[in-house]
Chains A and B, each alone.
Chain A
Amino acid sequence: MTSEMKPILEIEDLSMVFGGLRAIDCVSMHINSGEIAALIGPNGAGKTTIFNCITGVYKPTEGTVSIVDSDGGKEKIQGLKPHLINNKGLARTFQNIRLFSNMSVLENVMIGRHNSLKGGILSAIVRDRRTREEEQRILDESYEILKKIRLDQFVNETARNLPYGAQRRLEIARALATDPFLLLLDEPVAGMNPHETKELEETINLIREQEKVTILLIEHDMSLVMNVSERIYVLDYGRLIAEGTPLEIKSNREVIKAYLGE
């Protein structure tokens, strides 16, 4: 395990200022290849803001976000458009579910596969053999992903009619469909019951093992965080106050103070 502890994403001195509010203040962190890292902190600590900065929804005020390739070369991605960042292999889910709710479950996943094909307007109209094959290919691939996340019984269901837990899983399936190397999960089990949480925990482990996808998750459910993550970053008022293994974090005084007060 330790031999492959190579960073794949590095965040250096990231700051995000909204008007007079420093939502994130000089945060530096890195994600190692193949790990599950967690980002925790009290409400309003700036966790989702960090996600938005990484995925291009926000342009960070200062600092850099870079993808590190296997040779250690860095490619800065901060400030790029979200779709370009996604194309580089970063996919995310959203805290408040953002599915394409009037489209079917399968179509949601197919949107994720959008960039794995090239057909434009003309090929859609002509519908030549290549386009048909491509279409069939992403149909199959999307179905495979749904099967893996165990949503295949809902294939033709409209996304908004899905049970809550399934909607959260569909978000993950859709993000996976974009073939990411890093998956950013924003509160994946928020609002789920213990049973659903357990299921999702299995799904997360499965994704990491089978898909070789690195995962960074934001979560308030401490049992999930402690169970699945290998490293934890703790954020409070936009500043990083602790970093370490679950055990270290559990006994960290700063963290306890941030959560419980003095």
Chain B
Amino acid sequence: MRQNGLKSEILGSLAQAAWFTVLLFPLIVMKVNVAMSKATVQFRWSYLPIIAIASFVLSFVWRRALEWSSTRVEKPAGSSFSSKIMGRFQIFESNKTIRLATVALFVLCVAVYPFALGMYHTNIMITALIYVMLALGLNIVVGWGGLLNLGYAAFFAVGAYTYGFLWKFVGPQFVSAGFDTGWLFWIALPMAGIIATVFGVLLSLPVLRLRGDYLAIITLAFGEIVRMVLQNASDITGGATGISLIPRPWFLGFKLPPKQAATYIYYIAVILVVLTVFIVRRLEDSRVGRALEAMREDEIACQSMGIDLVHNKLVTFALGAFWAGIAGVVLAAQTTYINPDSFTLWESVMILMAVVIGGQGSIPGAIVGAMLLKLLPEYFRPLAQYRMLIYGIAMIVIIIFKPDGLIPRKRKSYYFVKKNSADSGHEVRV
């Protein structure tokens, strides 16, 4: 049986290698040289075995991996690799001093980061933190609500342009009234959140009846519409050139030089991320969060259990959009320049990838996913030309071998201590 499987795998891989050799023959082996308006075909036969062997090996490895994945049995709790690691971490959880020390160390690392590593790394980290906010926001929509949103960057744009417009149109009056431009950031922050939320509600109204593919297409269209409007309404938005010289936030009424400003924005971003995490954690196992997840699981059953789907969808889109709006302001403040190119479909896809790679519905997953997707490309610049290839492979591998993501959503466990009749259960968090 097993031997048979291996044999058929080898045969399959051989067939695939042969097919690939034929397919790639004109592309790799044949080379057309054009010299003095005469074309000569050069055959590079030495490439032929390379294609054959490489495609055979890749195909075979892939088949083995699939086989391994399908026969892999769920190991009993405690013996799998990840749970062993978690077991190690248990020490951190159970021992209060160790836990406190770890948290303190982490906080210290976060705090000294910009001073230890300089402006370049700080700026990269700010971008990553912005993505963490975006991923956490999209996680509410896609991970919890189950509503595939491919136009998420539109809300990001709404946030950034809120700050941009505020600067462009209100800024001059603001300055002539004797205020510092640095305060605009703090006005823009809540404003962008609210306006993005309004946009979220506006988008959710026409898509209330849609799910799955249709929803994805409509949200995709929405994202592109917002971008096109930003690009073409040049009188207001500055068109493709965007809005520039957006002020960075000032520190207590002092204008900071770029380096210190980056540090300052870094801290603001950190605080906003902490706030985001705090709020989504609170929502996660609350009445609201549960209702969203029920909607993802089964809309008809969810309605039949007395949950208002319309209200639920509005909440989902509004909550998701809010964080994108906030993130947009931070982006505008960091780069001091915004144009529609920052809010393409590709941005939406990247954020979605962060959520899927991290683990749909999982908060630590969204954080890790966003960090990986933003930081790795920065630190592997030499491989930049293979970026798309690597993203693609990573996506395929994760979806096939780890469909729940790197850090799957962990459900809250409840324990009830048996007591007398009129008892109230005792709840413990695991």
Q: Which residues of chain B are within 8 angstroms of A104 by Cβ–Cβ distance?
A: 411-414
Could you tell me if A139 and B414 are in contact, using CB atoms closer than 8 angstroms?
yes
Contact A114 B427 (CB under 8 A): no
Query: Does residue A124 face the partner (Cβ distance < 8 Å to B)?
Result: yes
Chain B proximity of A43: nearest CB distance (Å): 21
B306 touches A127 (CB 8 A): no
Select the stretch in B164-172, B199-207, B287-295 that faces chain A: B287-295
Residues B282 and A124 in contact, CB atoms below 8 Å apart:
yes
A130 an interface residue at 8 Å Cβ cutoff? no
CB distance from A146 to the nearest CB of B (A): 9
Tell me whether B288 and A103 are in contact (CB under 8 A).
no
A158 contacts chain B at the CB level, 8 A cutoff: yes
Which range holds the interface residue count of chain B? 35 or more
Bound form: Cα–Cα A125–B319 in Å: 12
Given the complex of chains A and B, what is the CA–CA distance between A92 and B414 in angstroms? 26
Asked if B306 and A115 make an inter-chain contact with CB atoms under 8 angstroms apart, the answer reads yes
Q: Which of B290, B319, B425 contacts A107 (CB 8 A)?
A: B290
Given A86-B305, A119-B286, A57 and B297 touching (CB < 8 A)?
no
Within B408-430, the residues touching A (CB, 8 Å) are: 411-416, 423-425, 427
Asked if B61 lies at the interface with its beta carbon under 8 angstroms from chain A, I say: no
Query: Interface digits, B226-237 against A, CB 8 Å rule (1 contact, 0 not)?
Result: 000000000000
Interface-facing stretch out of A8-16, A93-101, A217-225: A93-101
Q: Is B398 on the interface with A (CB-CB < 8 A)?
A: no
Q: Flag if A82 contacts B294 (CB, 8 Å).
A: no
User: Which listed residue (B315, B319, B411) contacts A103, Cβ 8 A?
Assistant: B411
Selected contact of A140 from candidates B290, B302, B304, B425, CB within 8 Å: B425
Verify A124–B293 contact, CB threshold 8 A: no
> Is B303 part of the contact surface with A, judged by Cβ < 8 Å?
yes
Q: Is the CB of A102 within 8 A of B297?
A: yes
Q: Which residues of B contact A111 (CB under 8 A)?
A: 290-291, 294, 302, 305, 307
Contact B283 A125 (CB under 8 A): yes
How far does the alpha carbon of A220 sit from the alpha carbon of B308 in the complex, in Å? 32
Interface of chain B, main secondary structure:
helix
| Shortest beta-carbon distance from B47 to chain A in Å | 48
Check B304 against A82 for contact (C-beta < 8 Å).
Answer: yes
Q: Would you list which residues of chain A between 109 and 127 have a CB under 8 Å from chain B?
A: 110-112, 114-115, 117, 119-121, 124-125, 127
Of A87, A101, A110, A140, the residue contacting B297 (CB under 8 A) is A101
Q: Is B298 an interface residue (CB 8 A)?
A: yes
The one of B302, B304, B307, B315 that contacts A55, using a Cβ cutoff of 8 Å: B304
With a cutoff of 8 Å between Cβ atoms, the chain A residues found around residue B424 in the complex are 136, 140
What distance in Å separates the Cβ of A69 from its nearest Cβ neighbour in chain B? 19
Q: Shortest beta-carbon distance, B272 to chain A, in Å?
A: 15
Which residues of chain B come closer than 8 Å to A125, judged between CB atoms?
279, 282-283
- The answer to the question of B300 belonging to the interface, with a C-beta cut-off of 8 Å to chain A, is yes
Q: Is A249 an interface residue (CB 8 A)?
A: no
Given contacts A83-B306, A100-B293, contact A156 B300 (CB under 8 A): no
Question: Is A57 a contact partner of B304 (Cβ separation < 8 A)?
Answer: yes
A117 touches B287 (CB 8 A): yes
Tell me whether B261 is interfacial, beta carbon within 8 Å: no
Asked, given contacts A82-B304, A83-B309, A86-B306, whether A121 binds B297 with beta carbons under 8 Å apart, the answer is no
B301 is an interface residue with CB less than 8 A from chain A? yes
A91 in contact with B307 given A103-B294, A119-B287 (CB within 8 Å): no
CA distance A55 to B304 in the complex (A): 7
Q: What's the minimum C-beta distance from B379 to chain A, rounded to whole angstroms?
A: 35
Contacts of B427 in A (CB 8 A): 136, 139
Chain B residues near A175: list those with CB within 8 A: 305
Contacts of B290 in A (CB 8 A): 103, 107, 110-111, 114
User: Cβ of A99: which chain B residues have Cβ within 8 Å of it?
Assistant: 297-298, 301
Cross-chain contact A127 with B307 (CB below 8 angstroms): no
CA separation between A92 and B413, bound complex, in Å?
Answer: 27
Q: Which residues of A contact B300 (CB under 8 A)?
A: 57, 82, 94, 98
Q: Name 17 interchain pairs, CB-CB below 8 A, sorted by A.
A: A57-B304, A83-B308, A86-B303, A86-B304, A91-B305, A94-B300, A99-B298, A100-B302, A110-B290, A114-B294, A119-B288, A121-B288, A121-B319, A135-B286, A140-B425, A155-B416, A156-B415
Q: Knowing that A100-B301, A131-B286, A156-B411 are A-B contacts, what are 13 other residue pairs whose CB atoms are under 8 Å apart, sorted by A's residue number?
A: A57-B300, A83-B303, A83-B306, A83-B309, A87-B306, A98-B300, A99-B297, A107-B411, A124-B288, A125-B283, A134-B287, A155-B414, A177-B305
B residues near A, CB below 8 A?
279, 282-283, 286-291, 293-294, 297-298, 300-309, 315, 319, 411-416, 423-425, 427
Task: State the 3 A-B residue pairs at the shortest beta-carbon distance, nearest first.
Answer: A124-B286, A100-B297, A86-B306
